[in-house]
Amino acid sequence: GLTSDAHEFLTLNSALRAGLEANQFSLHYQPRVELGTGIILSVEALIRWQHPELGFVSPGRFIPVAEASGLIERIGLWVLREGCRQQRAWMDAGIAPGRMAINLSARQLAQPGFIDILQRVLEETGLPPDRLELEITEGALLEDPQAVAEKLKIVRGMGITVALDDFGTGFSSLSYLKRLPLDSLKIDQSFVRGIPNDTNDIAITRSIIAMAGNLKLKTVVEGVETDDQLAFAIAEGCGEFQGYLFSKPLPPVQLEALLRQSRAR
């Protein structure tokens, strides 16, 4: 009911605030792999929260709370810093993937000082901008798509690439898509789930890949779990994939083993 929802919101939000102070967050990283070669082109940073009493709380549960309360600005800044720091450390160790991909919430991107914050984090961590990618969702376009497009132009001008995440699940109009400065589309895993049995999911995924190609955007298929799904992505000419079939999101030490293997290829 409403009361218990409000209670859950308040409880989680104050726990999140305390969690920031107490260093309860960490990042796991999931490889994004080039189809055909199996080379890890980038890794996506995914936040993890281990609370002393609540246990592991999934981002699907707490990110919406942090977005509603505004706490996402501080959590997102922590993620950006930590992801950039880790990528720089992997560069220094000679094992860094091409790019570190960081998820941005709509609210972070809408912050007035966002570009300054981004520049400061890159300077502080010593990460070259061409080793970073930002993932935004269609939700970021809802309020002021023109302002978002202008910010993304600056971001890409710095050498950072931009991916549109969870593509196909939001309500963004296709006319905005062609005007948005983007590098790639990540096809949402809800469509991939139905491959190879659901003819609608096949048709939708195929159309997104074809449309992206026409707009000169790269495509990433998310949530690839089976050989059939991988074979489909290859047959359709998709460029990259991400999913449990290759690797789950891993803590940094475990990911390093995969990065070393990828380099050896």
Residues numbered 140 to 179 that lie near ligand C2E (CB under 6 A) are 165-166
Cβ nearer to ligand C2E, comparing 96 with 140: 140
Picked from Mg ion, ligand C2E, none, the partner binding residue 63 (CB below 5 to 8 A depending on kind) is ligand C2E
- In terms of DSSP bridges, do strands 184-187 and 218-221 run parallel, antiparallel, or are they unpaired? parallel
Instruction: Give the largest CA-CA distance in the chain.
Output: 55
- Paired tokens of 112: 């007035």
Cβ nearer to ligand C2E, comparing 70 with 179: 70
Cβ nearer to ligand C2E, comparing 225 with 256: 225
Position among 19, 31, 145, 223 found at the interface with ligand C2E (CB under 6 A) = 223
- In terms of DSSP bridges, do strands 184-187 and 132-137 run parallel, antiparallel, or are they unpaired? unpaired
Nearest partner of 18 among 75, 84, 83, judged by Cα: 75
Position among 36, 55, 60, 94 found at the interface with ligand C2E (CB under 6 A) = 60
- Binding part of the chain for ligand C2E, among 1-9, 167-175, 230-238, 242-250 by CB under 6 A, reads 242-250
Cβ nearer to Mg ion, comparing 191 with 232: 191
Binding mask 203-242 for Mg ion (x = CB under 5 A): -------------------x--------------------
Position among 67, 73, 138, 166 found at the interface with Mg ion (CB under 5 A) = 166
